[in-house]
Structure 1
């Protein structure tokens, strides 16, 4: 039982990603059904509605004002599903709001379960998507008011998110979003990355045009731009970012070979130096790939863990099936493969040619591939 007292942070047991909160008889009934549909949720309701199965179902009950529960829930969950009137929710959460990049998604449901409303952090916090899921579970009406969703256009802060794209800076998210929803000329420049980013079964809005290069977009003089590339832009090209957002798609596969015991610091330094020479962004790296003899190499494991990259290994037989430029009898003698970095990068990326065939630096050999998308 959670005892809610003024000025005391309540102790909760957070297990799932989302919290469901109810304070009325009808709300509790709805919340119990909803929890069954959301296995990744925790349920909280007032103890006076106890049924006797709460402990078995992991339901947490509370006594006191629900307002005092929110300071503990806010930092603990990705999203809150609240079956309380909208006005009351706004008053209770207002003192807790920080930033749309930090605040959880807030979804409010009316006591009859007719309307599911996306209230806060609709895009970055995932409230809009959660609203649709909850509405589907309750056979209710999803109420979403963000302009890009209503108009059926690009949500700038979510652009490419499902592919793992990350933006270089959030400074221009708001003004670029304004240009998109106000139907001003907007350029989308895509040099690399997944192409299936348009989510609607309608043509791209007339105010949005796609360009193959930054130079073409600059010549068109758009009011705003969304630039998708793994490249570091030149000084001249940076003009496009005056009112633009730069996105980094995960398209770089790094084939890496190294001597046993090579430190993470040396491996990381070679990677950073090599990408700087190529004028490629570190944020666009997707994976390190190598021979399976290196699957327990501590330096490699430390680097991929630090950056959250994928780590893929291949057998010598798999590597030897790939056409390469410079097979090495010496490498074959020690590994059973005629090369490591070059064929590993090709295997992972599916690219027929590499941005960097092979570079040896100290104890590290590296190859770089750009993953092609059609």
Structure 2
């Protein structure tokens, strides 16, 4: 996180220096910015090896704003709110791109997150700054002041990814803060997402399964899941669905023809992961049959992704019950399944669900690779 502190008055610079010293315990990349008039006050930070960088500019601050706005993730101004509005307004793009912007008054009484409160993190940093300065954070986003769910960042600190068009997030957020009936289905992920000491608002109805929701009684749906969400469901709920993807722990079982190219294996895995909206970073184990222990492409694939290629004998794999046994595979390698059985076996007692049974990929050289994916218990 790149944080810039900006001040243009005597008292503002004093408060900025105070904050910079205290903020270094929480933030590594801090830059303090002021005019040459106050250079001596801020340069002492670098002289004392505080960990802060300094920028001292000549003339007016307005010409500095474009670079500041585009170079940092969080801007903390010790400047009046109105002045900051005029300074940054020409540079606004979207809440997905803009930095968080916070304003602290000249008496350090109030800390106001004025831009990108959720996605940009301004609300979080405003609370932190207020605590460090002994000030009051003035947070105005409805979900925060109402102690309800912030739809756009639910589970972000747990590593969840939001999956929904922008219009869905806007519509569902409105339903949440306007106390319309909203279903929250949690089928995966940590349950420690509720951060308030107060109970969940009464308009939020909790469900353990999507199938249990009575859609005639709700306006919107928040769905925490690792399931594949069919297009029919998106169409049915129109702009009233937001899906959250907690990090998964998954295993890959891979089978392939002898001398299958690395590119074919990579494509097979990528296609299978894409079906699940998963990434290679969520893969815990990669496994195959021991007869493929010298398969160069498999070894390279595992190494490239920081994993050990785990091997099982045909006898071990043959004991695993799979949905798609093959007599042809049995004839050639001594087990009715390689990919499915390997993915299940390497997951062991932690296996929860076979998410991808057999995803096949044929390369231009007619060599085949097959991938199976198992979800592990959390």
Same fold, TM exceeding 0.5?
Answer: yes
The corresponding residue for 1:111 is: 106
For residues 13-45 of structure 1, the C-alpha deviation after alignment (integer angstroms, 9 at most, x for no partner) is xxx611111111111122122222233211111
1:116–1:141: 8 Å Cα contact kept in structure 2?
yes
1:185–1:207: 8 Å Cα contact kept in structure 2?
yes
Aligned length: 337
2:352–2:376: 8 Å Cα contact kept in structure 1?
no
CA distance in 2, matches of 1:144, 1:122: 8
Structure 2 unaligned residues grouped into runs of 5+: 288-292, 322-329, 334-340, 362-366
Mapping for residues 1-374 of structure 1, pairs under 5 Å: 17-36=2-21, 37-38=23-24, 39-51=28-40, 53=44, 56=47, 57=49, 58-168=53-163, 169-234=165-230, 236-238=232-234, 239-257=236-254, 263=261, 265-274=263-272, 280-283=275-278, 286-288=281-283, 289-290=285-286, 297-300=299-302, 311-313=306-308, 325=320, 341-346=343-348, 350-351=350-351, 354-355=354-355, 364=369, 366-373=371-378
CA distance in 2, matches of 1:68, 1:261: 60
* Larger CA Rg, structure 1 vs 2: 2
CA distance in 1, matches of 2:151, 2:345: 37
2:265–2:298: 8 Å Cα contact kept in structure 1?
no
2:186–2:223: 8 Å Cα contact kept in structure 1?
yes
Quick one: structure 1 residues 240 and 90, their matched pair in 2 at CA, closer, same or farther if it must change by over 3 Å? same
Task: Report the CA distance between 1:274 and its aligned residue.
Answer: 3.8
Q: CA RMSD in A?
A: 3.6
CA distance in 2, matches of 1:322, 1:258: 12
CA distance in 1, matches of 2:120, 2:177: 20
Task: Report the CA distance between 1:59 and its aligned residue.
Answer: 1.4
Q: Mean Cα displacement is larger for which, 262-271 or 155-164?
A: 262-271
Aligned residue for 1:27, secondary structure, equals: helix
